């Protein structure tokens, strides 16, 4: 899958600090909506882009005129301080914009092995919470995060997914990836 839309985490109007190039280009540090890839996007000079904006990067599909091209994929360690602080908000926005995708995970997650379930990979979900989620979804699939919160007495289940995506992006979790590809 290719990232079609990006959430801008930070903008470096004169390029990366310490870059030795004579002709430094403006760049945006961005998070992809589809696969949560961290990407460096070269921007066209003079066209304003700000953190929190959404950029289209596929020509013909809402392509943003400010985008010159996607230069490369970034690691979490390469993010600026501003990009790291914007990351949780960006992930929340992506999850909130496409709740069906993440509710499908909650409704379809399965055991990894005899002793461990995919739901237990979410921060704060232990065996009892996992069993409650499985029991409730057998009665009826979750229709929304509010439905999940009400039926399970869980406080903000959407934050569980956001925290897991943050773990995967930061490299804290390498063995099991639920949302971010390697």
Which pLDDT score, from 0 to 100, does residue 160 have?
A: 93
Q: Considering the domain 98-170, what is its CATH architecture?
A: Orthogonal Bundle (1.10)
Q: Considering the domain 5-80, what is its CATH architecture?
A: Beta Barrel (2.40)
Element (H, E) at 84: helix 81-97
Beta bridge partners of 168: none
Which pLDDT score, from 0 to 100, does residue 172 have?
A: 79
Q: Name the DSSP class of 44.
A: P
Which pLDDT score, from 0 to 100, does residue 88 have?
A: 95
| Spans in the chain with pLDDT lower than 50 | none
Which pLDDT score, from 0 to 100, does residue 62 have?
A: 76
Domain ranges of the chain: 5-80, 98-170
Q: Is 178 exposed, middle or buried (0-12, 13-18, 19+ CB in 10 A)?
A: middle
The three-point CA angle 39-56-31 to 5° equals: 30
């Amino acid at each position: 899958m290719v990232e079609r839309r990006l959430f801008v985490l930070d903008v470096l109007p004169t390029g990366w600090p310490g870059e030795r190039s004579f002709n430094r280009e403006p760049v945006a540090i961005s998070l992809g909506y589809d696969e949560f890839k961290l990407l460096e996007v070269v921007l066209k000079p003079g066209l304003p882009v700000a953190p929190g904006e959404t950029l289209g990067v596929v020509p013909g599909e809402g392509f943003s005129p400010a985008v010159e091209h996607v230069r490369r994929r970034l690691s979490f360690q390469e993010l600026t301080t501003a990009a790291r602080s914007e990351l949780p908000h960006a992930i929340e926005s992506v999850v909130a914009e496409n709740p069906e995708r993440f509710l499908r995970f909650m409704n379809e997650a399965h055991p990894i092995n005899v002793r461990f379930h995919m739901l237990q990979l979410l921060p704060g979900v232990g065996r009892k919470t996992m069993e409650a989620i499985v029991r409730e979804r057998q009665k009826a699939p979750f229709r929304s995060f509010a439905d999940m919160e009400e039926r399970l007495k869980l406080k903000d289940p959407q934050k569980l997914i956001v925290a897991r995506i943050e773990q995967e992006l930061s490299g804290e979790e390498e063995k099991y990836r639920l949302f971010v590809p390697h």
